[in-house]
A and B are shown apart, each in its own frame.
Chain A
Amino acid sequence: MKLTDYMTKDMIILDLKASSPQLALHQLIDVMESEGRITNKSDYYKALVNREAQSSTAIGFEVAIPHGKTDAVILPSVVFAKAPEGIEWESLDGDPVKLVFMIGVPEAAAGNEHLRILALLSRRLIDDSFRDGLKEAVTVDEIYAQLSTVEA
């Protein structure tokens, strides 16, 4: 199982521009919808915003991982976006966010393999070299190759 089992190359965005986290979320949700990964945009958005309201998912070091667990999600999915210009996201260390992993998980999914992969992704994000690699990558294929190294 690999992280890239939960995404397609079309779910990698190279240049996300948004003046607020909310606007960023909407753009990423559109990707989820066009990829047929969600049934209902507003339910999924609500789940993401509720999670954000508990505490910001911008965990510092320029990374945010908005995530929602709801039945509006059909398949466990990850959308990855680079935002070279930075997004103001009330992050833990105050820095703008440049890497966004948006995660969607159905309320009831068979097995927990996807949870294991996402846990592993969370652990890898703590690793400086993993983040730097993603920041330096310029093409979708490069990014896809790096994300595929998150495997269990």
Chain B
Amino acid sequence: MKIVAITACPTGIAHTYMAAEKLSKAGAENGHEVKVETHGSIGVENSLTQVEIDEADGVIIAADKEVDKSRFAGKKVVIVPVIAAIKDPLGLIEKTQAAPVYGASKQVEEKAYASQKRERSLFYRALMNGVSHMIPFVVVGGLLIALALALGGEPTANGLVIPKDSVWFKVNMIGSAAFTFMAPILAGYIAYAIADRPGLTPGIIAGYIAANGSFYNSEAGAGFIGAIIAGFIAGYIAKWIKSWKVPQMMQPIMPILIIPIIATIIAGGLFVYVLGAPIAGVMEGLTKFLEGMQGSSKILLGLILGGMIAFDMGGPVNKVAFLFGSAMITAGQPHIMGAIAAAICVPPLGMGLATLLKKNRFEKEEQEAGKAALMMGLVGITEGAIPFAAADPLRVIPANMVGSMTAGALAMVWGVTNSVPHGGPVVAVLGAVEQVFFFFLAIIIGVIVTALTAVTLKKPLTTIKAK
């Protein structure tokens, strides 16, 4: 038989490992394949993979403390105190075959999602680990910047500018400092979820590189999408290096020296030379494309600009659209910035509204982030929607794009203009917008479109997570 087991005890020093040893030995002596995951003071070791759990004929949980059993839904599970595994390991192995199936009553609804859950299991967990650590940075940074802009900003041709001698200038700088950590933290904790502690450093550094275009001669960094990619690359490289067989002498320095250095060099190098380089090219191509679009229909241009703004929220595609809009103000075409200003605030406002409409689509932290996103949306900080997009890109990014495209196209058609390179309701309050009524109408319609699309595409959490 194939058996998987977990052992755990309160102090996690002795019994955990004795029980593990007993189970493995009893298994080996009787022709069973037993793999034991230990939850000791050191942390979780010898982790069970989803494949091993799927293939197991039975599960033994020998623990004197709480252990997450959701992984074993649908398996025959024996749950006993840790001492039982030391006393009679073979008896436990045999007992699994007569054991009740864990979570049997919820089987039917879970089955439908089981395969989906398995595939995305590590991907989803890693992503959520990154997002949950990033959220405080987005909230702190976003709210400080929002406060500084709303109370200290003055509309000028260069955007909303805060006078250098005002205290709000410093507040804005502090907020910007928090934003700087967004991508590194996101990437770092994605990598941490994949490779444990040795993944953290390579992930943070690769995320920093991803967010800073200067590493690969690009005007803009790769944004949060780049940070997600960087996190996964760094995590999997660190995990791969962890699997190397090295002489025992080298083992102590692996997690603090060898793995972080090699993984950082490979992940950072990949980003600089392989992934980062094309970004500059993509930006150039998109800029040319937009310049060529100038003569075409207003609706089409509004749709394209709105979609670009919402796609990567501060990433290269967003930057191209924004810089194009800024340039067009000086060229005497402020209606282009009008469309962009409307599109800019749709993702954070739309996702904020979505968290209020349907709470069960969002984790607790996301619900809090939703309130902060509403604040950020008002002052045109698109980044407020990043936590949602990073956690569930395939559903949230389309929802954001549809809403921003709607707002962009409507603003364009209605002749909204904006003479300040900044977005969101704040520019209207500061008097930079003409056709203010239609500006707000375009935003409101866009926000509703995003919120409804998001709650329709996203599934209620209970079915995704299949407890």
Residues of A near any B CB (own CB < 8 A): 1, 51, 54-55, 57, 59-60, 65, 67-69, 92-93, 103, 105, 112-113, 115-116, 118-123, 125-126, 152
Closest to B84 in A: A92
- B151 at interface, CB cutoff 8 A: no
B86 touches A119 (CB 8 A): no
Residues of B near any A CB (own CB < 8 A): 10-18, 20-22, 25, 38, 40-43, 64, 81, 83, 86-87, 248, 251-252
A152 to B16, CA, bound (A): 18
Contact partners of A67 in chain B: CB under 8 A: 11, 13-14
Contact partners of A57 in chain B: CB under 8 A: 14-15
Give which listed residue, B21, B64, B81, contacts A122 with CB less than 8 A. B21
A1 to B251, CA, bound (A): 11
A135 to B83, CA, bound (A): 24
A122 to B18, CA, bound (A): 5
Closest to A76 in B: B13
A119 to B20, CA, bound (A): 10
A113 to B248, CA, bound (A): 14
Closest to A51 in B: B11
B15 touches A122 (CB 8 A): yes
Closest to A124 in B: B21
A59 touches B40 (CB 8 A): no
B42 touches A116 (CB 8 A): yes
Closest to A122 in B: B17
B64 touches A54 (CB 8 A): yes
Closest to A111 in B: B252
A60 touches B86 (CB 8 A): yes
A123 touches B20 (CB 8 A): yes
Asked, given contacts A55-B64, A115-B41, A126-B21, whether A103 binds B13 with beta carbons under 8 Å apart, the answer is: yes
Closest to A101 in B: B14
Contact partners of B251 in chain A: CB under 8 A: 152
Nearest-Cβ distance from residue B87 to partner chain A, whole angstroms: 5
Nearest-Cβ distance from residue A51 to partner chain B, whole angstroms: 6
Nearest-Cβ distance from residue A8 to partner chain B, whole angstroms: 21
A69 to B87, CA, bound (A): 24
A4 to B330, CA, bound (A): 77
Contact partners of B40 in chain A: CB under 8 A: 115, 119
| 8 A–B pairs (Cβ distance < 8 Å), ordered by A | A51-B11, A67-B14, A115-B42, A121-B14, A122-B13, A122-B16, A123-B17, A126-B21
Asked, given contacts A55-B81, A59-B86, A112-B41, whether A119 binds B16 with beta carbons under 8 Å apart, the answer is: yes
Closest to B82 in A: A55
Nearest-Cβ distance from residue B454 to partner chain A, whole angstroms: 43
Contact partners of A68 in chain B: CB under 8 A: 11
Give which listed residue, B38, B83, B87, B248, contacts A119 with CB less than 8 A. B38
B42 touches A65 (CB 8 A): no
